Chains A and B, each alone.
Chain A
Amino acid sequence: MSTTTLGTRPQNKAPRTLALGLSRIGYETRLYFRSPDTLLFTFFFPFIMLGIFTAAFSSSGNIGANPDGTGGVSVGTYYLPGMLAAGMLLSGVQNLAVDIAGEKSDGTLKRLGGTPLSPLSYFLGKIGQVFVTAILQAGLLLLVARLVLDIALPTEPGKWATFAWVFVFGVITSAFLGIALSAVPRSGRSATAVVAPVVLVLQFISGVYLQFTTLPEWMQNLASIFPLKWMAQGMRSVFLPESFAAAEQSGTWDLLWVAGALGVWLVLGLVLSRVTFRWIRRDA
């Protein structure tokens, strides 16, 4: 056979992969905002929950108040960090697991697999989309917290530095875990049924909906295996007064543990994503 390869020239691969990845981010983000299901269950869900909790529990007074009713923080203030953490989890895990499982079963991935799009560009697009939407979501949550719920936000730069690394680290970890989890559902239709309960249970045991410090110890220990507990704890360290640290499991914010747990889950997510991702389900 001839080895003629008409029209193939050495291309500058890395910049091209990056450029296509950036173009994917724009495309994916646009499609994200056109999908009503995704918008409701990943983007606006934390807003809805924050609204409900604030409305339902505000009458029972501040959380962490002294016996005489002074001190503590408002219900909204208390729940804000949990909702930010939930948003990170939803934007990554729920969004991508459902999205990619759907793309696998509806032929989107098969079509892309027949084009010269590098899987790396595809992943850049997905992770970038998660970042863009998670940043918009967190920004909007903070804005609503400040302007609508009148929650005082921290002013110390150190707190915001903590916010930044917990957020970036948590969102990347969530994104990779979402890609890894997308391999589990057998069809696009069953994806929501597989993914939503996992995410929901995590939110209940990790201190998003229920005050983490009031949960039984075994549940706290169980939650500590999973990343959401650590994201929520990191966020509490930013938005709650130092006095609340005493109520945490070890009596401190344990930011090193937050970083360590997210690091382990990030590596796990990366490896699982790499091992399980296929443009198409391989045949025998």
Chain B
Amino acid sequence: MTSTPPAVHVRDLQKSYGGVEAVRGVSFSIAAGETFALLGPNGAGKSTTIEILEGYRDRSGGEVSVLGIDPHRGGLDWKARLGIVLQTSNESGNATVTEQLRHFAGFYPHPRDVDEVIDAAGLREKAKTRVSKLSGGQRRRVDVALGIIGRPELLFLDEPTTGFDPEARHQFWNLIRGLKAEGTTILLTTHYLDEAAQLSDRAGIIVGGRLIDIGPLDEIGEADARVPVVRWRDGNGSVREERTSRPAEVVADLVAIGKGAEPEGLEVIRPSLEDVYLSLVRGHEAMVAGNEAAASANDARPDPSRHTDRDVRA
């Protein structure tokens, strides 16, 4: 592990548009074969970061290496090792699913088999349909299929499952697990925290252009945010909660107090990634608001949260 260079290495990445700083000093590494999720609210700088790594945007500062190469100088050989699933697309889609995949497969030196990719993406029944005739979720699967057709070493997935129904999302997760098993490195952004929890090994949380936390999914957030809650209904029928790092002890006490009777509506709730994430983001936003109130003398300061991470050029 230590001998393999990281697939992605980002140090003190900065990006500003005009006077707006969209990314303000983000650093992280992704090991080869790892799946890394970049989480954060809209406008936090996720897509700006990912588009700099993909070579679409130039950075204002910092160091970036993707598969050992500076994306700013990445040539066609470098692009052949990447798979990119962009956030949105609304192409006219006059080609059929098979035609487009077959055509794109020709761009790459060692493409996957087109029929295998069609099956893996759940597009078999739509293989001969023009892309323009597909539903939003089906078009998104085509995007994913086009992203993996070139057998990428590193796959970028920018909100890949937007518009998927639950079954399609589970199929998609299986597809991604298959890619992971083959050793593909994956950088994922998503608004679905369960998706990040299902797929990724580690996550980073970006708020206001800054990485406010990074780590394995079960270690994100402060230890405090992960303290489980024991919830039950007392004799009067009102809901009681107790935050404790020793939930079994609390439950045992409840049973003892009730002289062996089963406590009503008993739950032990471990904070989900979503809870941890929300408390982190809110905590950070409160802190920023506090700082800004303190520094309110300077009200000409650009507000990074007003910068959307949608493609500003569109």
Contacts and interface: CB of A to CB of B under 8 A. Distances in A.
Interface string A106-118: 1110110111111
- Which of B57, B79, B107: most chain A CB closer than 10 A? B107
B261 to A, nearest CB: 62
Interface in A101-148: 102-103, 105-108, 110-111, 113-118
Nearest to A33: B94
B161 to A, nearest CB: 18
B86 interface: yes
Contacts of A56: none
Contacts of A214: none
Interface residues on A, range: 35 or more
B79 A102 contact: no
Contacts of A107: 86, 88-91
Contact of A27 (B80, B95, B313): B95
B146 interface: yes
A115 B86 contact: no
Contacts of A284: 17-18
A110 to B, nearest CB: 6
Contact of B76 (A103, A108, A116): A116
A281 interface: yes
Chain A interface secondary structure, helix, strand, loop or mixed? loop
Contact of B103 (A11, A27, A34, A102): A27
Contacts of A2: 5, 68
B59 to A, nearest CB: 11
B84 interface: yes
B102 to A, nearest CB: 9
Contacts of B89: 106-107, 110-111
A31 B95 contact: yes
Given A1-B5, A283-B58, A6 B313 contact: no
Contacts of B188: none
Contact of B69 (A5, A111, A283): A5
Contacts of B312: 283
A153 interface: no
12 contacts: A2-B68, A6-B68, A7-B81, A11-B77, A27-B103, A106-B92, A107-B91, A110-B56, A111-B146, A114-B54, A115-B79, A116-B107
Given A111-B146, A115-B104, 8 more contacts: A2-B5, A6-B68, A106-B91, A107-B88, A111-B89, A114-B79, A115-B150, A280-B56
